[in-house]
Structure 1
Amino acid sequence: MLELNDGYEMLLAAARSWGAEVTSPWFYLQFGVMLTGAGVAFAIGAAIRARTDLTALAMGWPGPLRMLTRILISSASTAAFAVLMTIARIVMSHSTWPSRSYLLAVAAKLALAWLVIRLVTSVIRNEFMVRLVAISAWLVAALSILGQLGATIALLDSVGIELGDLRLTPLLLIKLGVLLAVALWLSNLASNFLEGRINQAHDLTPSIQVLLVKLVRLLLMVFAIALVMGAVGINLSALAVFSGAVGVGIGFGLQKIVANFISGVILLADKSVKPGDLVTIGDSSGRISAMNTRYISVAAGDGREFLIPNEDLITQKVVNWTYTDKDTLVKVSFGANYDADPRLVCKLAIEVAAASPRASLAKPPNCLLAEFTEAGMKFALTFWIDSPDGMDAVKSDVMLGLWYAFKREGIRVPYPVRELRIRGGALPVENAVIEMPG
């Protein structure tokens, strides 16, 4: 309670100090100078941006120097405002008491701090992280410039709640949030770098590469969280009270998520499927484009992508067309009438299949007489292609070739023939009625 009263007294003292500053006529003079300087700085920045061709100016420069130049041009208004406020501060310091230009000094320092922060955060690619780091750093700089950083820290640390050996305060939560965001960003950079290295290792299979990338990301994330908690003074054993609740939550609410995660690890470890495989799962067919922690993405080839949970690949039947061998057997069923020579039909079918550009030369086509039916003979043509991609198109081309070959040789494709017998009725024939025997 004493700490809370101390923080309250500090706030009152700061309010009285600012109240005295606001009541001074010099405050309004400085405020007017600041508004004028802001307008002039905005005009200067707009003129610089309009007259500067960054592409032509920085052509051939190194990447970091081009980025620095781009940040300086985009922040020209801030830089001009800092310079104008510094000049106004120097002029007023020599004209009157230095305390009467205090607000101008604060404005110049804040503008300069923001400019430096923008330059430092230009190396960050994540827009959210840029804003988070820039705003957090500028608030700290502003409090330090105003001389209120120590008082603010003490105030944020004066209130809190006790959870066993852990004392949660607003200051602790702010530190934890900022450091955690920075640590996770750094771990993401490190994992991206390691992912590039792993993907360049051609002696590793695609499934092992994906598994290693997932493990590296998970380990770096856990390490970053543990490091941040230790840095802010949180003992991980103090969180043991929540482990039971988390376990119950995982057991009930997150059961499917955990099952999909474990199934994903199993799939990556046993290499039953891997990125690039052509698979059929239930009614979904396509090529695996990505394997994630919770699901795999199967591109159907027509713009659709099926997101299939990893658990389904463990519990359901999966057809992997490229598991051990990409060669695919194509089956074509067709028929011919009984007037045709079956050996000639098989010969024509084999020649048409062998003429296909996708047909495998190592495994010659084969044609078998499969069945005698009412309409005609049924044949089964089989041939191998190098991969299952475009199998339907290859099958269509071979069937078109069969059609033209049959037309050339006079072989007819059978079609159903129906014979109608009518008993006890009459049929009109050339306007006459013929009585049928009953």
Structure 2
Amino acid sequence: MMNTQILTTLIADLADDFREPQFLWQVGTVAICFLMAWQLSRVLRRLFTRGEPTHGVMHIGVESFSRVLSPALNMVFLGVGEAILGRWQHTHLLTLLFPIIGSLAIIRFGFYIVRKTFSRQGRIGTFLAVFEKLFAVLVWIGVVLHFTGLWPDLLAALDDIVLPVGKNKISLLNILQASISVVLTIVIALWASAALEARLMLLPSMHSSLKVVLSRVGRALLILIAILVSLTIVGIDLTVLSVFGGALGVGLGFGLQKIASSYVSGFIILLDRSMSIGDMITVDKFNGRVTQINTRYTVLQGFDGAESVIPNEMLVSSPVQNFSLTNRTVAMTTDLVVSYQTDIEKIMPLLVDAVAKVDRIAQDPAPAAYLMKFGSDGLELRVGFWIIDPENGRTSVLSHVNRALWQLIQEQEINLPYPQRVVTLSSPLGNIAPPAR
């Protein structure tokens, strides 16, 4: 027979309190606690989110955590109110509301942890949405079990179910407790690593590569600590990991040496700062802008939008051309041929002025024109210029430069010679005999 003594007793006590005038003190205490919690949560939100750029670290996560503030503060104030009011009268209403508000705080805090850990750019996938609903249902089931007094019966039933594991027997309760402990420790470690990475990315005085390497190392250490703690909680002897560590070392030495080399190369790239996110590089046949630097691979986004995943080992062992390592300016040229009758001293400054007026052309160093060669068809000229934003592409700016030069050529009526070919026939067309039938 189900034990409903807690719920029955609580309802009966509330009915008795409702008939007494002192019940209004409980209602007033609950209203004051809710009002104080709501007002204090608003004050804390304004305090932490109004901020200036210098308070960016404090700003992280406060907006999403604000939904947890109200029920959490309600729990605190209800606990204080119950302790104070309980000296003079019954507080059954506060006793009823405390687990309900507490369950709401647990649900919202769980949502906050999961979203900060697994969601990207505030978007929630289908799996996370289903998980959040399942988590909320489990919490409310726990509240119902608490009020109905079925917790002890449920724990006893789970402890009686024994599963054979090898030569030992483990109860279902121990398995559930171990699973929950492992999941909680790992999720907390992932949440802490995500918070650490977000805070590091806001530090303006630290190099981007150092931020990435610190976040990656912190994430790995936190996950390792979480695994060790969870194994200790479960009751697994950590000395058994020595055999696993030896086997893993042999596997890395033989079958996973390429992967291990890429991981080590990733940390080398991040530590020696040979490239950073946003740099324009060329390696082998790949070129583009660095968008991600991970511990195993680096992502390059080409000018056509295609992304190339480059193993970090290639970036360490192969020559890499970095267009923005110490200086982001990139030199470009365009060539043209003019006739020998052209006034070079007049036209060359005009070419420079036309190129200097094009957008994205750097003024320091300034564009320049050169006489490169006395060609067979005319004078070969070269116009050189610099751009300071190679990540925006070079084809478009070269097109604008050529169009500006073509407009100048039309205005100044500059003659652009081109090769002429003379075809000489060995015999007149009329002397060619028709083919025999």
Category of TM-score, reference length = shorter chain: 0.5 to 0.7
> For the Cα contact (< 8 Å) 1:375–1:417, is it kept in 2?
no
Report the structure number with the largest CA radius of gyration: 1
> For residues 61-108 of structure 1, what are the alpha-carbon distances to aligned partners after superposition, in whole Å with 9 as ceiling and x for unaligned?
854279869xxxxxxxxxxxxxxxxxxxxxxxxxxxxxxxxxxxxxxx
1:77 paired residue number: none
2:345 paired residue number: 343
Residue correspondence of structure 1 range 353-432 to structure 2 within 5 A:
353-388=355-390, 389-423=392-426, 425-427=427-429
> For the Cα contact (< 8 Å) 1:368–1:381, is it kept in 2?
yes
- Secondary structure at the aligned position of 2:198 is classed as helix
> For residues 199-258 of structure 1, what are the alpha-carbon distances to aligned partners after superposition, in whole Å with 9 as ceiling and x for unaligned?
222111111111111111111111111111122222211222323332333334433332
> For the Cα contact (< 8 Å) 1:330–1:382, is it kept in 2?
yes
2:80 paired residue number: none
CA distance in 1, matches of 2:311, 2:172: 40
> For residues 166-194 of structure 1, what are the alpha-carbon distances to aligned partners after superposition, in whole Å with 9 as ceiling and x for unaligned?
x9876655444321211121112222222
- Secondary structure at the aligned position of 1:273 is classed as coil
State the Cα RMSD in Å. 3.7
1:160 paired residue number: 165
- The worse-fitting range, judged by mean Cα deviation, of 175-184 and 197-206 is 175-184
CA distance in 1, matches of 2:419, 2:357: 31
> For the Cα contact (< 8 Å) 2:332–2:385, is it kept in 1?
yes
Say yes or no: does 1:309 pair with 2:314.
no
1:267 paired residue number: 269
- The worse-fitting range, judged by mean Cα deviation, of 389-398 and 200-209 is 389-398
> For the Cα contact (< 8 Å) 2:161–2:171, is it kept in 1?
no
Give the TM-score taking structure 2 as reference length.
0.65
How far off its partner does 1:284 sit?
2.8
How far off its partner does 1:132 sit?
7.0
CA distance in 2, matches of 1:251, 1:139: 50
Say yes or no: does 1:283 pair with 2:288.
no
- Secondary structure at the aligned position of 1:250 is classed as helix
Distance 1:386 1:214, change over 3 A: same
- Secondary structure at the aligned position of 1:124 is classed as helix
Residue correspondence of structure 1 range 20-419 to structure 2 within 5 A:
62=42, 63-64=66-67, 117=103, 120-125=106-111, 126=114, 127=128, 130=132, 144-145=150-151, 147-156=153-162, 159-161=164-166, 173-388=175-390, 389-419=392-422
> For the Cα contact (< 8 Å) 1:113–1:138, is it kept in 2?
no
Q: Structure 1 unaligned runs (5+)? A: 1-16, 19-57, 70-108
Bigger RCO (CA 8 Å, 6+ sep): 2
CA distance in 2, matches of 1:139, 1:317: 61
- The worse-fitting range, judged by mean Cα deviation, of 383-392 and 393-402 is 383-392
- The worse-fitting range, judged by mean Cα deviation, of 187-196 and 244-253 is 244-253
> For the Cα contact (< 8 Å) 1:337–1:414, is it kept in 2?
yes
Query: What code does the residue aligned with 2:232 have?
Result: G
CA distance in 1, matches of 2:68, 2:224: 35
> For residues 122-166 of structure 1, what are the alpha-carbon distances to aligned partners after superposition, in whole Å with 9 as ceiling and x for unaligned?
22232376467567767888695371423422544x633369xxx
How far off its partner does 1:278 sit?
1.5
Q: Structure 2 unaligned runs (5+)? A: 3-37, 43-65, 73-95, 115-127, 433-437
- Secondary structure at the aligned position of 1:159 is classed as strand
CA distance in 2, matches of 1:119, 1:404: 69
